[in-house]
Structure 1
Amino acid sequence: MYTENKENTENLLNLARELECRVVYNEPLSAHTTFKVGGECTALVDVSSDENLARLTAEASRLGVRTFVLGKGSNVLFDDKGFKGVVLLMGSSIDDIYMKDSTTICAQAGCSLIKLCRFALEHSLSGLEFAYGIPGTVGGAIYMNAGAYDGEIKDVLKSCTVTDSSGALKVIGADRLDMSYRKSRFTDSDEVITSGEFVLTPANYDDIQDKMVELMGRRRSKQPLEYPSAGSTFKRPEGQFAGKLIQDCGLKGFAIGGAQVSEKHCGFVINKGGATCEDILALIRHIQDTVKEQTGFMLECEVKYIPYE
């Protein structure tokens, strides 16, 4: 049970300072999400290591302080009022990456997927080309079992290290992560991913690079990367494509406030300019209602809405 005890929140932030983590009060979350939307959080802590994340997570649980672990903010939507609690930011201090052996890469949860893919390329390892250009972190990618172009994180993930409310760090094999389409065991647990191990296949450097360039080109030509968004807004319905269903329903370019169905790719809800969280949620609901009424399909949203309290 979370409390609104300001003393407990301050005790957690004092621990963060003792651990040499940067603490910022009233930080606008619009600056930390790809939608560029969201009010202020009570405080933001730039976590400095896996061990410190484990300690802060355990202490927050003990004190009853509400927290949210945030990476690149590519699949989340914070409320316009913000977040009543402490945001634990997995930033540049938790993005180390290294070779464990000739085919295994270890990457911390704050490492961007682009950095991971480029590292694999540097070592002539294939298997992550599909992820090049996905705007997220290793932690978020494992959490959501990120995927694109017929590839998924579960195809290359060997294991990950997590912490929970007890503060213990433990390694879990990929076969125990219950990974499926845009889902894993973490979507229904209090465990926080701190790193992942990926097993890849040796291949020709030029072939890997050509594939990455090709897929990035396809993204740029088909996706509205010039506008803030959270990537694909909806999960793919069985046997269908969300974007095609939305377009077939005449919603291409439909807007509510500053939120719009992309004219470039109808599977994307974009921030055309000045969109609020409420604009985006209202547009998502309108799309779902319209598609359900006209086609019978209920589109499931990929984006995770984070309420104020």
Structure 2
Amino acid sequence: MNDSLHRVIREKFPAVETKLNEPLSLHTSFKIGGPASLVLFPGTTEELSGLYKLLLKERERPIILGNGSNVLAPQKGLDRVIIITTRICGIKISGSFLTADCGATLSRAGVLAASEGLSGLECLYGIPGTVGGALVMNAGAYGGEMKDVVLRSEFLNKDGELCSYTGAEHGFGYRTSAFKAEDLILSTCLELTESEPFLIRDKMNSLMEKRKTSQPLDMPSAGSAFKRPQGGYAAELIERAGLKGFKIGGAEVSTKHAGFIINRGGASSDDVLKLIEHIQKTVLNQFGIELTPEVKILS
């Protein structure tokens, strides 16, 4: 990334904060990752769209990050432009419809929906991601997924053109959607159902307690390390393989939930990648099942 691009961005978008050689460990839930050449922090969807189009014009394909809660960044860093969307976090509610900007968190959306007596986000409450990231991967937990509530989404495609999906056009599947890697989510509209606020809050609190007792929420991780294999659960297979607590460097299979790889302290991206590979080989050898990582590897 050359200095002239940084100067152009500063001139055209003076309100956007920019950081050179910013450690990605500060922007991922794994707390792992070396410096990125340039990190941008737009505060509005207009700034986000303008930056994306400018970067495409300059033949620079940026990496888009929300909370960085499902990614692994390389220890050596990245000679790439990173756009952090967490400052673009507006949420509007009209009747039973909730419209959220890409950088709004699922938890905040759930809290606001509950305060208005709108149900549908309880199962997603506590997932530490943003609406944009959750939409792309069809995030879900405890029987609920984004696909259950998404009505319409706006995004920019790889050419910077404004596009939208409605309903089935999203192409939702298990931890997947019709969105391409180059698409930039701007916002999404969710259709919720009316209910009593106290009932919604009770369910949210109950599921949050369940998370706290069963998941290592106090340790840096990227959530579930592997997608659920057909007919079973990755965590169960990993535990049956005797890998609970297994470590490589600072990366460890959580003793609380075998489906999580945690940063026990000072873990590198190589530690995590080697641990993922060891888990995959062990489970395949013992059970003949291939585990697919759910964590996105940045490159």
TM-score by length of 2: 0.97
Matched to 1:235, the amino acid is K
Alpha-carbon deviation of 1:302?
0.5
1:91 corresponds to which of 86, 94, 108: 86
2:186 aligns with 194
- 1:142 equivalent to 2:135? Answer yes
> Contact conserved, 2:244 with 2:255, CA < 8 A, in 1?
yes
Instruction: Name the counterpart of 1:268.
Output: 260
Task: Kindly provide the CA deviation profile for residues 232-282 of structure 1, in whole angstroms up to 9, marking residues without a partner as x.
Answer: 110000110100000000101000000000000000000011100000010
Q: Name 1:9's counterpart in structure 2.
A: 5
User: How far is the alpha carbon of 1:7 from its aligned partner?
Assistant: 5.1
Cα distance, 1:51 vs structure 2: 1.7
Aligned-pair distance for 1:13? 2.7
**Structure 1 residues 76 and 152: CA distance shift in structure 2, 3 A:** same
Instruction: State the Cα distance separating 1:301 from its structure 2 match.
Output: 0.3
Aligned twin of 1:298: 290
Q: Distance in 2 between matches of 1:157 and 1:109?
A: 13
Partner of 1:233: 225
Verify: 1:207 aligned to 2:199, yes or no.
Answer: yes
Superposition pairs for residues 1-309 of structure 1, below 5 Å? 6=2, 9-15=5-11, 17-18=13-14, 20-92=15-87, 94-99=88-93, 101-186=94-179, 188-307=180-299
- CA contact under 8 A between 1:16 and 1:45: conserved in structure 2? no
The separation in 2 between residues aligned to 1:171 and 1:109, in whole angstroms, is: 14
**Structure 2 CA distance for aligned equivalents of residues 151 and 30 of structure 1:** 30
**What displacement does 1:189 show?**
4.0
CA distance in structure 2 between the aligned counterparts of 1:303 and 1:60, rounded to whole angstroms: 26
Q: For residues 118 and 3 of structure 2, what CA distance do their matches in structure 1 show?
A: 50
> Whole-Å Cα distance in 1 between the matches of residues 269 and 8 of structure 2?
28
Task: Give the gaps of 5 or more residues in structure 1.
Answer: none
Report how far residue 167 of structure 1 moved: 3.1
- Of stretches 259-268 and 202-211 in structure 1, the one that deviates more from structure 2 is 202-211
Q: Output the amino acid matched with 1:193.
A: I
Q: Spell out, residue by residue over 1:149-169, the C-alpha distance to the aligned partner (whole angstroms, 9 max, x if none).
A: 010000000011101244333
SS state at 1:270 partner: strand
User: 1-side partners of 2:80 and 2:236: how far apart?
Assistant: 39
- Which consecutive residues of structure 2, in runs of 5 or more, have no partner in the other structure? none
- Residue 61 of structure 1 deviates from its aligned partner by 1.3
Partner of 1:231, secondary structure, is: strand
Tell me how far 1:9 sits from its aligned partner: 2.9
Shift in alpha-carbon separation, 1:69–1:39, aligned structure 2, 3 A? same
Task: Pick which of 50-59 and 20-29 moved more.
Answer: 50-59
Q: TM-score, normalised by structure 1?
A: 0.94
The CA deviation string for residues 282-306 of structure 1, in whole angstroms up to 9 with x for no partner, is: 0000000100110011000000011
Alignment RMSD (CA, Å): 1.3
User: Aligned partners of 1:52, 1:127: CA distance in 2, in Å?
Assistant: 30
For the 8 Å contact 1:33–1:76, the answer to whether it is kept is yes
